[in-house]
Amino acid sequence: MAKYKRKPVLTYFFILIFIAVFLYQFYYSFYYGEDFLNDVFYNYGFSLQNILSGRFEVFITSIFFHGDVAHLILNMIALFFFGRVVELEIGRAKFLLIFFVSAIIGNLAVMTLSIFHLTSGIIPTIGASAAIFGLMGTAMLIKPLEFVFYPFLIPVPLVLVALLYTLYNITAFLLVVTTGIDSNISYISHMGGLAAGMFFGFKQEGSRKGLIILLFLLLLLVATPFLYMIFEYLEIFNYITVITEMFK
């Protein structure tokens, strides 16, 4: 089937599934209370404790829960933009593979830090962020100049969005690890998912194109002060910040 006739069916399907699961969460928290919902998160979210207890299903179940409305909305917007690029460019089978492998790698990264006592082995990790970061990692290599409206109201090249998020997550992760401050965001799972997605992107596009894009990213990193100025300008149009503040 010609690419222009395809539709990102799986991307839309996953968005609907995530919304449906969140509505069930809301239903159960309303009728049974927050404590019941927290028990669900602890039992089906990803944690080292659950793995040591033999609950290996949490590698998958943890993907489908979200902590609040803002968490859900931000992930669904990102999934819409990055998921559809991957699905339309390389097909549904590879989309599924990248989605689930990236999520699992993200969870393995969390588990590794927990083993070394750098993060809690009890507090569960939930959400599709690692899977979505994986899709972003692939999308930035197969379609780097695709313009997306995430997280800004103006079109931005996908490769620039990916670089901004990579820098932000690395910086935030190092800050959390070195200072010990509390954070409800699993930056390491994002980085694990991104690395997995980039691996698939290199496999798809070949080493030559991948290296060209990687060199471009390195040049942007060298120009970090200039990149910071761009980021400061783009923040004027950042609707993600507005959405987050609405649901705090």
24-78 pLDDT, tens digit each: 999 988 888 889 999 999 999 999 999 999 999 999 999 999 999 999 999 999 9
Question: Lowest-confidence range among 112-121, 137-146, 171-180, 209-218?
Answer: 209-218
Q: All domains of the chain, ordered by start, with CATH?
A: 3-246 (1.20.1540.10)
pTM of the model: 0.90
Q: Rounded mean pLDDT of the chain? A: 88
The pLDDT of residue 221 is 63
Long-range contacts, stretch 17-23, CB < 8 angstroms, 24+ apart: 17/64, 18/64, 18/66, 18/72, 18/75, 18/76, 18/79, 18/128, 19/72, 19/76, 21/64, 21/65, 21/66, 22/65, 22/66, 22/69, 22/72
Whole-number percent of the chain with pLDDT over 70: 88
The pLDDT of residue 240 is 82
- Band the pLDDT of 174: cuts 50, 70, 90: confident
